[in-house]
Amino acid sequence: MVTRWIPDDAVKLLAEAGDVVVSPADRPLAPDELHEFVSGASAVVGMLHDRLDGALADAAGPGLKVVANVAVGYDNVDVPALAARGIVVTNTPGVLTDATADLAFGLLLAVTRRLGEGERLLRSRTPWSFHLGFLLGSGLQGKTLGIVGYGQIGRAVAKRAEAFGMEIVHSGRSGRGSVSFEELLARSDVVSLHCPLTPETRHLIDAAALRAMKPSAYLVNTTRGPVVDEAALADALEAGEIAGAALDVFEKEPEVEPRLLGRDDVVLSPHLGSATIETRTGMAVLAARNVVEVLGGRAPLTEVKP
């Protein structure tokens, strides 16, 4: 049972293992619809907007062997509850690293160079002419990028930032550039978030963290919305505590804190981190491979352990 559209390559692969049913609804299923949909499933291929938990497993019934989340993040999955029922859980790491790092860097450029503002100005047909003080942004060369969450995606962002002449500090436990979270906030000209959403990272960027950043600094979030307290972010921007923010993910996705929507110093994109044809196909195919392996009695390629 596949809870939402996936690319054909992945459907074909799944069909090698059994009958494939893809939800025809072009929207997230409500919990009761989702539970009804998965009834009798051997495998569930789910999306980050689905709650994949013990209730879902119970609704599927005793034949459920594998839950494949088509995302690297798995905060929507109750891994211990599924593992306790003997169900294998998988995610899709690796295949989306570059696409997500590219998007994070695109957002970083968009917010520091005021691209959204420039676009809106032209589209609103506002009169303008080139002058030396017009829509000035902030250069990156010699500036410091603070990377919170120094895993595969964080490192890929660091590689891009180095090519732009930025210094890197990160929250990784060791290695060049490793600093405390407090030092990272105080030193960075841009803070980019790449940690998973866990109980420890929920609202990691709260009012105090935002106050600890430089007034000239920018925040970029391409991980999960709840890592940032969006109301506190709106307060901080209103108070001039930071210079701007670029967000691809939202606390109550798909809703966006209304005060952020009207701000020119905020760049917004609708969870597009992995949204390239190649990457989304790679993610779905990896999820499908995991299902085929588990249903074939073999170990999956990318298992999530409790």
| Catalytic machinery residues | 224, 253, 271
Q: Which stretch binds ligand DGY (CB under 6 A): 4-12, 69-77, 125-133, 260-268?
A: 69-77
Binding pattern for the stretch 25-64 against ligand DGY, x by CB under 6 A and - elsewhere = -----------------------x----------------
Q: Which stretch binds ligand DGY (CB under 6 A): 54-62, 65-73, 230-238, 254-262?
A: 65-73
Size of interface with ligand DGY, in residues (CB under 6 A): 7
What ranges in the chain are assigned the alpha helix state H? 8-15, 31-37, 54-60, 79-84, 97-112, 115-123, 152-163, 181-187, 207-212, 230-238, 258-261, 277-295
Q: How far apart are CA 231 and CA 151, in angstroms?
A: 27
Cβ atoms < 10 Å from Cβ of 22: 15
- 268: which strand partners? 247
Binding pattern for the stretch 256-275 against ligand DGY, x by CB under 6 A and - elsewhere = -----------------xx-
Contact call for residue 154 and ligand DGY (CB under 6 A): no
Q: How far apart are CA 68 and CA 63, in angstroms?
A: 15
Q: Which stretch binds ligand DGY (CB under 6 A): 37-45, 71-79, 111-119, 123-131?
A: 71-79
Nearer to ligand DGY, 48 or 242 (CB): 48
Helix (H, G, I), strand (E, B) or coil at 1: coil
Q: Residues in the site for ligand DGY, rule: CB under 6 A?
A: 48, 71-73, 96, 273-274
